[in-house]
Chains A and B, each alone.
Chain A
Amino acid sequence: MPDAKRSASIVSGTLDLLILKTLSIEPAHGYAIAQHIKRLSRDALTVEEGSLYPALQRMQVKGWIAAEWKKSPTGRQARYYKLTALGRRQLDAEQQAFESSIAAITRVLRSAES
């Protein structure tokens, strides 16, 4: 198992995509978003919390997500984020762009091998 410190940090720009993807499943608070990304990537990706919250706020300003304070299961007040319609469109767009760029990179790698 790779050391947590040496796991890949998230390329800037893709963090937005990961957050949007996470929130497309259900509304969540910041901590849950970070855990979700880490778990789904089998600890390959760690979210630097220091950049998670600013990213959330920026996305709020852009109108992709909305926030409200709610009681969490543990009983404490937590800020829950949810995807807006605009955010859903943004997710589709970013996902498409990401996939096509991955495909392009893969093509380059393959051709370099052959």
Chain B
Amino acid sequence: MSGEEQDRARPGRVVRTEREPVEGAVDDEIAFHLASRVSELQRRGVSAADARRLAISEFGDIEASRRELAAVDRALRRRRRVLTALDGSLQDLRHATRSLRRAPTFGLATFGTLAIGIGALTTMFAIVNAVLLRPLPYRDPARLVGAWHDMAAINLPHAPQAVQTYFTYATQTHTIEGIGIYRETAANVSVIGQAADPQRVDVAACTATLFSVLGAAPLRGHLITADEDQPGAAPVAMIGEGMWRSKFGSDPDIVGRVIDVNGVARQIIGVLPRSFEIPTSRIALWIPLNLDPANPPPTAFTYGGIARLKAGVSAAAAERDFASVLPRAATLYPRFAPGVSTQQILAQTKPRPILTPLRDDVVGAVSTTLWLTGAAALLLYLVACINVGNLALVRFDARQLELAVRQALGAGGARIARSYLAEIAIVALAAGITALAISGAALALLGSKGPTDLPRLAEVALDGRCVLFALVACSCAVLLGGAIPLRRLRRGTLLLNRSTRGGTAGRAANRTRQTLVAAQIALALVALAGSGLLVRSFIRLDAVHPGFDADRVATYWMSLPPARYAKDTAIVRFYATLLDRARALPGVVSAGLTSRVPLVPRGFNDNPFYVEGATSADEKLPPLQIFTTVGGDYFQTMRIPLLAGKPFDAMDQQREGDAIISSRTASMFWHDSTGRSAIGKRFRVLPTSRWYTVVGVVASTRDSSLMKLPAPVVYFPQTTYTDPAQRQTARTMALVMRTQSDPASLNSTVQGIVRALDPSLPLFDVQPMVAAVRASTARLRFTTLMLGAAALVTLALGALGLSGVMGYVVTLRRREIGIRIALGAAPTTVAAATTRDAMRVTAIGVAVGLALFAAAAPFARATLFGVAVWDPVAVAGAVLILLAAAMLASWLPARRAAQVDPAEALRAEA
């Protein structure tokens, strides 16, 4: 066909080249050229043989030319093929939209199902990808490790660094490029030059090496330098992007401004971007530690460490290097704490250096939550895909006649398949776009309303990768939804008379449908049972008695900066006055002070407890206790019962040397949970320090988490101490008040009292104790909510699929049902028979689902509380819910079908 003919055949399309065998055309053209040249030369009188030779030599390398021509020709033909295919696809699309318009229910159902499924999956992908999969936003992040110690001897598998170990690793190892340490703390911060509005912010005190190890880049200014980290250097600070924007209005000249941090004027030298989340996303201020290797502070193991491995060095090799140099700490930095040598502490704690991927430290415990939620989204998506498969199958059957006609008229199988897939593709694409919109909205909601402690939240965004993912999810749905009917298309020719054959529906079609339904039920079971486990955990956790009464108790935190409260007596005077004024407020039942509120992750202070007369202390560190400082009527206010002995005296009368222990401590050391035998016994906090006497024993509380058993706690009175290296008067404390009515009603009054005492003192974490307890279970609550919602949607989709398929099967069997009823069967019997079929499918689905659940459930174990992975209530509950849903979904259409007039059913074409 020549180009002109083709142009005529397809008006409106530009075809620039002819269609013919490539090689032939090339040869013809070259042959024509040579012949023309030969005849011209002959005309000039050259002999025929010479003319031919001359023409060929003039032409040059004929073969090369031919090859090149053929290549260009092939490229042309390829392009033409693509154009033709595109043209065909356009036709398919036009055809598909037409036929979709005729079947809006199918289109809408598929669209809705997929939009929900792909939306949920894409949202979870965006989060999982940003938080768990993407490399950390630091230079060459694969070489960054968290540097910790495994102290198996004292049951601390993830113990931090000490200044002594840090300097040893920094100077002695040869497998790392550098190591930095940090300590999380908090400070009262106010901007100098702004109206006094002091704020409590989270602070990281760190070495300058931390920044060089991470290879972070500041948003403004510069990172803390080694000089600025020297002992005695002028005080500086870096602020986070959030603080820069909110407190300084994104001031471009921020560098050089001064802020007051705990009474110390610090010059701002730089701004760190939001994506810098070391140690956590809460940190708003970074200050240098100014450590002096010649005189390390007695801060023990309290620093997080981050190291950068040299290129090509494995974490295991570096761990061996660390372990081999660690003993040198004893000679390089012999003093660990007053009266405690480094040698001694290394012998007692037996630290084994461990280097873990930094990502684990950054992401932490949230990864389980995210993987679980991601898995739930995947289940939802799969069920949605199967639903689409089911819907497509029904649609395929409905279109069978039309397709058969097209096939009989000569349309190829591939052509029919394409036009059919186009229909699903259009719907899936629309659903995918909607799903992206849903994801965008969900992520925005997460950013504004979600849990604030989610690490790397700043990095979560709907980026190109998510769009690509949604596209893949779309394609998978099209393939899954389209593949099943298409397999049947390939298996044999379509029958024109199929729809008029009547009787019962095809066996193969039914089997496919039943397999799909069974798969849906299996997946829904996994989702239901999984969220059932979490709901049960949550109920169990809610029933746990924390050891105190949170109802109508409010907490107000404050911290007295050393710059203005240098003396212990000043601190005690402040808190004693505050307590007196708080007690005098109308509506206050009782009030106390504490350096640590149960279930609030603040003020934890773990220390050893050397009992008088115990011999083992030299070679082994005694079990760690949580040291807490309290004052006033703390135990009475929290309703923590006093089991034995007496409470502390009033704050200004209390003398140093008394202590109250928890019943857990009493049973640990004196094997007496009533505490009576502990009264009057003595202990000390360092092997050489003064003795403390146990004057009282109180009941244990759940301190770090409702999920964990009560930890041993030792309470000291808030008073002045003679040796600040051993015990210090607490500067950061919470006022705890029990009120007659809603505790929040007193907030402004308490604020006023504190203002009157010290106008520059910020109050923070002002909240009812009930809220603190709730917050401690926030993550489980969030996980339960997400999984529960996903399970419900999965169940709804599954039930929808089941009822749709059952309804269709019943419609197909109307004739058969009609015959049976005409022959005398009771309508209910017929309906029951149909339901029985559905229940058999459901039973198979349940069995497969249980097997899947058995394989998957152990991964969720860490999230569960108080329930076994095979919790009978959760699993049986899920099975029962599914059976009920299946029963309902099949009984209703069966019942409806059985009630029709048999004569009518027989007349109607099935």
Contact = CB atoms under 8 A, between A and B. Distances in A.
Contact of B76 (A53, A61, A68, A74): A61
A31 B33 CA distance: 5
Interface in B60-77: 60-62, 64-65, 68-69, 72-73, 75-76
A30 interface: yes
A60 interface: yes
B17 A77 contact: no
B69 A57 contact: yes
A50 B4 contact: no
A79 to B, nearest CB: 5
Interface stretch (B35-43, B335-343, B761-769): B35-43
A58 interface: yes
Contacts of B782: none
Contacts of B39: 74
A50 B69 contact: no
A48 to B, nearest CB: 5
Contacts of A63: 16
B3 A67 contact: yes
A50 B17 contact: no
Interface string B1-37: 0111000000000001110000001101110110111
Contact of A54 (B18, B68, B76, B79): B68
A29 interface: yes
A31 B73 contact: no
A48 B169 CA distance: 74
Contacts of B33: 30-31, 34, 49, 53
Contacts of B69: 53-54, 57
Contact of B32 (A60, A66, A67, A77): A77
Nearest to B63: A50
A78 interface: yes
Contacts of B60: 48-51
Given A53-B69, A54-B68, A66 B3 contact: yes
Contact of A69 (B2, B16, B61): B2
A101 interface: no
Contact of A67 (B17, B30, B62, B79): B17
Contacts, number: 76
Contacts of B58: 49
Interface in B63-98: 64-65, 68-69, 72-73, 75-76, 79
A77 B72 contact: no
Contacts of B61: 50
B808 interface: no
B59 interface: yes
Given A49-B58, A61-B76, A68-B4, A31 B16 contact: no
A84 to B, nearest CB: 7
Given A29-B32, A69-B2, A84 B16 contact: yes
20 contacts: A29-B32, A31-B36, A49-B58, A49-B60, A49-B65, A51-B60, A53-B29, A53-B30, A53-B69, A57-B76, A60-B76, A61-B72, A66-B17, A67-B16, A67-B17, A68-B4, A69-B2, A74-B36, A79-B25, A79-B28
Given A53-B33, A61-B75, A69-B2, 9 more contacts: A30-B33, A31-B33, A48-B60, A49-B60, A61-B76, A63-B16, A69-B18, A77-B28, A79-B25
